[in-house]
Structure formats: C-alpha cells, structure tokens
Amino acid sequence: KQTRGAFGEIQLRDIVAQALPADSYALQATLSNGRRADCLIHLPRPPGPIAIDAKFPLEPYEALRAARTEAEQTEARRMMRAAIRHHLRAIADKYIVEGETAEGALMFLPSEAVYAELHANFPELVREGFALRVWIVSPTTCMATLNTMRAVLKDARMKEQAGAIRRELAALCRDIDLLGGRVENLDRHFAQATKDVAEIRTSAERATRRARRLDNFDFEELAPEHAPGSLP
C-alpha cells in the first residue's frame, strides 16, 4: 500500500506542478479533522479548497488482470468493487469538511487503463462517486480538471487585482480633488498678491509724481514781499 500510495502521489505531484502555480496548492496538507490530503488545491470560495487523494488501491486491479478462470475473475471483480467503494467513502469522510473544504473531492487514478476499466465494467462505482461528490480522475482527466482550476484561480486573481486598481483609482481621485482645491486657493492668493502689487505700484507712482512736483516747485513765489514786522 505504501508503494502504490507513493507511486500515485509522485505522479499526482508532477501533474499538479505542471498545471498550477506553486502557491495555489499544498502537498500533504493537514485538515482541521487531522486528516492529511495528498494535495489540496486552494480554490476561492465558492467552491473552496478541494482535496485530491492519490492512494488508489491498485492490488484489486492487479488481481483482476492476473485472474485466469471465470471464478478468479468473479472474485477479483468483487474485491475490486468492494475496495473502490470503501475508498470512495473514505475520501468523502476524510476530505470533505463542511465550512473548510469544497463540497467535493477528487480520487486520482495513476493509470489510464484503470480509469478505462472502471468506466467500462464498474459504471455503478462511478455513479456512487458522483453521489458522494467524489470525482474520479485519471492522469489525463486530472490535467484537464487542473487546467480548469487554473482558469478559476486566474480569474479570481484578476478580480483581486481589479479591486486593488479600483481602490487606487479612488485614492487618486481624492488626491486630484485635494490638489484642485489647493490650486484654487493658490490662485486666489496669487490674484490677491497681484492686486496688492498693482496697488503698491500705483501708490509708488503717485508718490513719485508728488515728489517731482515738490522738487520743481518755486518756493520763492510763495515768499512774502515784506518780512514780518517791517514798515511799508
């Protein structure tokens, strides 16, 4: 079991690493119930984080392939049906946590042949998986599913960036409004200063003219013909 678990985990890790940014998932992630998911995709809500299990029981499938007689095949199919049903229920119980994860989980099959066998000869198990909200994926369908998740993650990040841009634009508009008010105040100050300078210039010109008139004034014309107290 450790070998088949390691094989599935390694294959899943490689597929996830190819499909998703490194910060969008966690390997061997521990949930609040103490269960450890082989991979947890950090999808935004809804649907929320979704767990992927890679510990598919390969032994029953290998026994089915090795069966030669009809009796062996019947017994191998029974064992495979029971093992997969048990695994589906275990995934639903362990990795679907209300309020924490998405309302579903993925069961990763490390082989396209196993996936084909399951859909061809055990369709009732696929239906049971849907009922439990455990979706069965192969390497190919897992990659397709992860590509869809990547689009969801990209859309969520674009919305986050759009929100940040809107906040920056709102702040910029406030700054522009403040700047406009300050420009108006400065314009009024300049207008008042210009008026004051003009009035100063007018006063200076008036004072200059008076000084020139005084400078050119003939004081002798105003001198008295006789000094005070003299006789005519």
- The residues spanned by each domain of the chain are 2-159
What does the pLDDT look like over 90-108, one tens digit per residue? Answer: 999 999 999 999 999 999 9
Encoded amino acid at 201, one letter: R
**Which pLDDT score, from 0 to 100, does residue 99 have?**
92
Question: Is the model more confident about 231 or about 67?
Answer: 67
Q: Taking every pair of C-alpha atoms in the chain, what is the biggest distance, in angstroms? A: 170
Is residue 226 over pLDDT 70?
A: no
The Cα-based distances of 128 to 85, 87, 150, 154, 213 in angstroms read 8, 11, 27, 32, 116
pLDDT value at residue 157: 74
- With a CB cutoff of 8 Å and minimum separation 6, the contacts of 105 are 37, 50, 51, 52, 53, 91, 92, 95, 96, 133, 134, 135
pLDDT of residue 224: 55
CA distance 47 to 45: 5
How confident is the model over 4-11, as a mean pLDDT? 78
Instruction: Kindly give the interhelix angle for 58-66 and 70-95, rounded to the nearest 10 degrees.
Output: 170
Q: What pLDDT does residue 232 have?
A: 46
Confidence band, pLDDT 50/70/90 cuts, at residue 221: low
Average pLDDT over residues 210-224: 64
Whether residue 218 has pLDDT greater than 80: no
Q: What's residue 42's pLDDT? A: 94
pLDDT at 227 over 60: no
User: What pTM was estimated for this model as a whole?
Assistant: 0.67
The reported pLDDT for the residue numbered 176 is: 74
Buried b / exposed e across 155-186, counting CB within 10 Å, b at 16+? eeeeeeeeeeeeeeeeeeeeeeeeeeeeeeee
Mean of the pLDDT values across residues 152-161?
76
- Cα–Cα distance between 128 and 88 in angstroms, integer? 8
Distance CA 13, CA 19 (A): 10
For residues 221 and 57, the model is more confident at 57
φ and ψ of 110, to 5 deg: -80, 5
